[in-house]
């Protein structure tokens, strides 16, 4: 496990769910939370200069191989929420932890994590140690 992440390894976005994100009970359908995590993760990786296009250029794919979400409260239509993504591991895998909270009250709505592994796009083989390009983009020592 890596040391405590620096502030630069986290990023927060604000989202207000669209009507099409709702289920018949007029709350955000549980599967759409994954989409909100993706928005925060992409924003974090874009800020670090290692989003999907840069991953592709570096010769690595980073599929998600594990994910967990813990639902605490529901999100309603028009509710503003903040989604924070924070990189907490990067040596053998990329682990990102998430926190979704109400933008006004700060109440916790959901916590989650994802695990991604590097796959060499040329050989299609999984890497058991993250490639140096990730460490360079994160500004951390191997």
Three-state SS sequence of the chain: CCCCCCHHHEEEEEECCCHHHECCCCEECCCHHHHHHHHHHHHHHHHCCCCHHHHHHHCEECCEEEEEEEECCCCECCCCEEEEEEEEECCCCEEEEEEEEECCCCCEEEEEEEEECCEECCCCEECCCCCHHHHHHHCCCC
Question: What's the pLDDT at 139?
Answer: 86
pLDDT 10s digits, 6-47: 558 999 999 999 999 999 999 999 999 999 999 999 999 999
Provide the percentage of residues in the chain whose pLDDT is more than 70: 94
The predicted-structure confidence for 92-126, as pLDDT tens digits, reads as follows 999 999 999 999 999 999 999 999 999 999 999 99
Q: Give the pLDDT confidence score for residue 2 in this predicted structure.
A: 47
């Amino acid at each position: 496990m890596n040391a405590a992440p620096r502030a630069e390894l986290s990023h927060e976005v604000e989202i207000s769910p669209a009507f099409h994100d709702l289920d018949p009970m007029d709350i955000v359908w549980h599967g759409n939370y994954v989409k909100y995590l993706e928005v925060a993760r992409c924003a974090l990786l874009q800020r670090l200069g290692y989003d999907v296009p840069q991953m592709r250029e570096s010769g690595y794919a980073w599929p998600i191989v594990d994910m967990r979400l813990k639902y605490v409260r529901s999100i309603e239509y028009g509710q503003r929420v903040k989604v924070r993504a924070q990189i907490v591991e990067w040596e053998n895998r990329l682990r990102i932890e998430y926190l979704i909270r109400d933008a006004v009250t700060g109440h916790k709505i959901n916590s989650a994590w994802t695990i991604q592994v590097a796959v060499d796009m040329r050989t299609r083989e999984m890497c058991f140690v993250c490639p140096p390009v990730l460490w360079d983009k994160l500004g951390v020592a191997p």
